[in-house]
Homo-oligomer: A and B are copies of this chain.
Amino acid sequence: MNEYIFIDKWKIIENRYRPERTRAGESLFSIGNGVMGGRANFEERFSGDTLQGNYIGGVYYPDKTRVGWWKNGYPESFAKMLNSAFWCGVDVTVAGESIDLAVCRVADYYRELDMRTGTLLRRVSLTTPSGRRVDIEALRFVSMERPELGVLRYTVTLPDRSAEVTLESFIDGDVRNEDANYDEKFWRPVSQSRCGLVMQTLKSGFVVGWAMENRIDGASFIDTGRTECPAETATVTVEAGGSVTLYKFVGICSSLNHESSDIAEAAARVADRAASAGFDVVSEEHKAGWASIWDNADIEIEGDDEAQQGIRYCIFQLLQTYTGRDSRLNVGPKGFTGEKYGGGTYWDTEAYCLPFYMATAGREVARNLLLYRYNQLDAAIENARKLGFDGGAALYPMVTVDGSECHNEWEITFEEIHRNGAVAYAIYNYVRYTGDSDYIAGYGLEVLISIARFWAQRVNFSAPKGKYVMLGVTGPNEYENNVNNNWYTLYIARWCMRYAAESAERVRSERPDDYRRIEEKRGFDYEAETARWREICDNMYFPYDAENDIFLQQDGYMDKKQMLVCDLPASERPINQKWSWDRILRSCFIKQADVLQGLYFFRDDFDVDTIKRNFRFYEPRTVHESSLSPCVHAVLAAAIGDTRKAEEMYLRTSRLDLDDYNNENREGLHITSMAGSWLAVVEGFGGMRVEGDRLVFSPSLPDAWHSMTFKVRFRGKRLTVMATKDGAVVSEEERSTF
């Protein structure tokens, strides 16, 4: 744990420069606007250890797959979010000395991320090797109102001696992904001008343009550009006690939204317009954008400032990552804060993130998350076909950017198929929450049919059991691979087939035109297919342990040596670092909620005693070595009245990144699991659930919390819910601003 972050309700503050935490800090102070974003790299030259990272949503590169041993069906490439040009670079020279925090002595250091305004501020006082004092203040943001705009205000002050200060503002396109499989470069330059750069991604052919407008009062710039790096330099004499301020406006436009041939011009236009409007105007617009977002999404906690900071940080990062303006974008596990996992979309989106965006950003945003999968349906069908499924069966990828599978590890890629269920469940969850049942006829049914087709082929009839079984599966608990009859996967598969059949029936009778369109487009044979699904559903095998009266995670689970997590010495945890994979696999320990994930999704199907029995069996066996696990346990613990356990579970993730529990911030933040923290607060402590057309709340707050006030949108209304020990007060709000 690294308790170096100040507790503040709205700000993330560090006030010491710790070189060994440079990468971690770069992640923690990341900024984004849902369309693009990047790590909090220093603007000026830095020769220390750093992971420079700037990412543009939807711009990816299919990196050739790297494996030890190839298996038929593996994808040829892994589509990765690309590290792209470093747009905010400013190299500073004072009296001939280059400013570099790794070389200068840092006297004072202050960095703050203002979550209320989405602004990153850094103040440094340093002494150069020759003994000259220099102060720097850098403030930057990527605009919430102008999604293609990055803005930097960069001030150099000389407290004690006058000198010539040279500021070279540049856009560096010569970047690489650290996680490139074969150490290859992913970009080629297209064109370059004094202040502009256009690059194209290799293979995928995305074109991205950057253009900058630099302003220093009373100074002029000369062209000092290099290949793949347009640059402009101004030299100013700064008096003792005086300062110089650079305003830098950068337009960043891609072929996702522009004709390739227009991109240089489009980027220049964005930069030019912002520069003309001026820093104050664009800054105020940006703040107003964030104010309106917070007005829909905030959670206020009275009585626990750490928790307050923690949950706001989660909400803030989620909203920096995805704003739902574009159905081609999605939520990567690390957002725009790092390269790990390639920035692709996992089932995290449907299982954890959707409820957050649905409740805070509204129906259109949630709908865009669903449309992302709808638009990738044909790719999911192709993905299933590659594995040997036919008849329009769809298997959504484990990780994807463009709809094709990126993952290559057979026990996950081919077997962790429960993800398909989450995609269907999200449709149900969306309709249940928003009441937008039109979505089924318009889009959802095609997805549901294609997923149901997959499950119907993925099971087989077992003669000895006289039931349909599902062999060779990896459940949510990835510490078991290639098991037979994972209870969760069977349960969600059966649910999918039933929901698909019901939905088909409803659309058929209520929306005959839509039905005929879908029937033809998907070659759907209602009678035969739904009969088959029902036959399977009515004869599905579910593993069960009679002794404990619990749903059994998979066949043979009780053959394992039964131990509890509390029996494990601390020195052996986390087991994913301390144990061999062999030992992990053969142990009874559970990485993340598996049976309990099913009880969470389908809570209405089970009585409280059933949830209790299963919770009390599985919770003590779960090591929660996925950041997505504790939130589910927290919600269930709250549901069965175990507030203490709910709080324990909540604390495991709420400040995961702020306190860097696992010492892995350097790789980027756990964006999707931040949605889990929101779930734990709102669905756990807030006890929020949909019942029919109503939203109900049954709060149970942690001891220290006096009250918790959160905002949700529901069926066109904006609700403020104030939960205390005594219950919840829900009020419907008029639109307001801060």
A417 CB → nearest B CB, Å: 9
Q: Whose C-beta in chain B lies nearest to the C-beta of A562?
A: B463
1/0 contact string of A435-478 vs chain B (CB within 8 Å): 00000000000000000000000001111110001011000000
Copy count, this protein chain: 2
8 interchain pairs, CB-CB under 8 A = A72-B584, A73-B581, A387-B582, A410-B582, A414-B580, A415-B582, A469-B559, A471-B586
**A260 interfacial contact with B, CB 8 Å:** no
A484 close to chain B: CB less than 8 A: yes
Residues of A59-105 at the interface with B, using a CB-CB cut-off of 8 Å, are: 65-69, 71-74
Residues of B within 8 A of A562 (CB): 463
B471 touches A582 (CB 8 A): no
Which residues of chain B are near A580, meaning CB under 8 Å?
71-73, 386-388, 414
Contact of A559 among B65, B464, B481, B586 (CB under 8 A): B464
The answer to whether B460 and A560 touch across the interface, beta carbons within 8 angstroms, is yes
Q: How far is the CA of A644 from the CA of B226 in the complex (A)?
A: 77
Answer yes or no: A305 CB below 8 A from chain B CBs.
no
The complex places the Cα of A409 from the Cα of B580 at a distance, in Å, of 13
For residue A521, CB closer than 8 A to chain B, the reply is no
Q: Is A601 an interface residue (CB 8 A)?
A: no
User: Which of the listed residues A74, A460, A559 has the most CB atoms from chain B within 10 Å of its own CB?
Assistant: A559
- Known A559-B464, A577-B72: A582·B484 in contact at CB below 8 Å: no
Which residue of the partner chain B has the closest CB to A461? B561
User: Is the beta-carbon distance between A387 and B583 smaller than 8 angstroms?
Assistant: yes
The answer to whether B73 and A559 touch across the interface, beta carbons within 8 angstroms, is no
Proximity bits, A560-591, B CB within 8 Å = 1, else 0:
11100000000000001101111111100000
Query: Residue of B at shortest CB range from A71?
Result: B581
- Distance of A561 Cα from B470 Cα, bound (Å): 11
- Within 383-441 of A, Cβ neighbours of B (below 8 Å) are at 386-388, 408-411, 414-415
Cα of A484 to Cα of B483 in the assembled complex, Å:
9
Bound CA span A415–B555, Å: 19
- A252 shortest CB reach to chain B, Å: 32
Q: Which residues of B contact A388 (CB under 8 A)?
A: 579-580, 582-583
- Bound together, the chains give a CA A482 to CA B410 distance in angstroms of 12
Q: Decide: B460 and A561 in contact? CB cutoff 8 A.
A: yes
Is the pair B72, A579 in contact by a Cβ cutoff of 8 Å? yes
* A581 cross-chain contacts in B, Cβ below 8 A: 71-74, 410, 414
| Most chain B beta-carbon contacts within 10 A, residue among A71, A72, A555 | A72
* Complex contacts, A560 vs chain B, CB 8 Å: 460, 462, 471
> Could you say which residues of chain B place their CB within 8 Å of the CB of A68?
65-68, 408-409
The CA-CA distance from A410 to B481 in the complex, in Å, is 11
User: What are the residues of chain B within 8 A of A71 when measuring CB–CB?
Assistant: 580-581
Interface status of A48 (Cβ within 8 A of chain B)? no
A558 at the interface (CB under 8 A from B): yes
Smallest CB-CB A-B distances: 10 pairs: A73-B580, A414-B582, A71-B581, A462-B559, A388-B583, A67-B68, A387-B580, A482-B482, A460-B561, A472-B586
Complex Cα gap A556–B482 (Å): 12
- Of A65, A67, A556, A576, chain B has the most CB atoms within 10 Å of the CB of A556
A576 to B408, CA, bound (A): 17
Q: Which residues of the other chain, B, contact A559 by a CB distance below 8 angstroms? A: 460, 462, 464-465, 469, 471, 484
Instruction: State the CA gap A460–B562 with chains docked (Å).
Output: 10
Instruction: State the CA gap A434–B291 with chains docked (Å).
Output: 87
